[in-house]
Amino acid sequence: MAKITYIEFNGTEHVVDVKPGLTVMEGAVKNNVPGIDADCGGACACATCHVYVDPAWTEKTGTPSAMEESMLDFAEAVEPNSRLSCQIKVTDALDGLSVRMPESQH
């Protein structure tokens, strides 16, 4: 299991154990973490699971695909560390990952 910390815009933290093989978005949805709506169900067809990856983790979470980049165009307040949480696969190497939700998703 990877322990992932989801931080709402207001600072509320949710620490969740997520099974490897799931996505960061699935971990949030299965644990009722507010701020990650995942309207498209993880198909990389919306931007309602937008998160900011803690800068210390950007290398381990990888870079967005071209499709993810195009969906991020629909997100508000995109930063260099913005990702769609549905596109980050959880592995044991992501144990300790921290992501923040943007203000628009509270």
Q: CA 21 to CA 92: how far, in whole Å? A: 9
DSSP 43-56: SSS-STTEEEE-GG
Q: Which pLDDT score, from 0 to 100, does residue 104 have?
A: 84
Domain that holds residue 36: 2-105
Q: Which pLDDT score, from 0 to 100, does residue 48 have?
A: 93
Q: Which pLDDT score, from 0 to 100, does residue 74 have?
A: 87
Q: Which pLDDT score, from 0 to 100, does residue 105 have?
A: 79
Residue 105 vs residues 47, 49, 73, 93: alpha-carbon distances, Å: 10, 8, 15, 27
pLDDT, tens digit only, all 106 positions of the chain: 999 999 999 999 999 999 999 999 999 999 999 999 999 999 999 999 999 999 999 999 999 999 999 999 989 999 999 999 999 999 999 999 999 999 887 7
> What is residue 89's DSSP assignment?
B
Q: CA 25 to CA 70: how far, in whole Å? A: 18
| CATH number reported for the structural domain that contains residue 64 in this entry | 3.10.20.30
The tally of domains found in the chain comes to 1
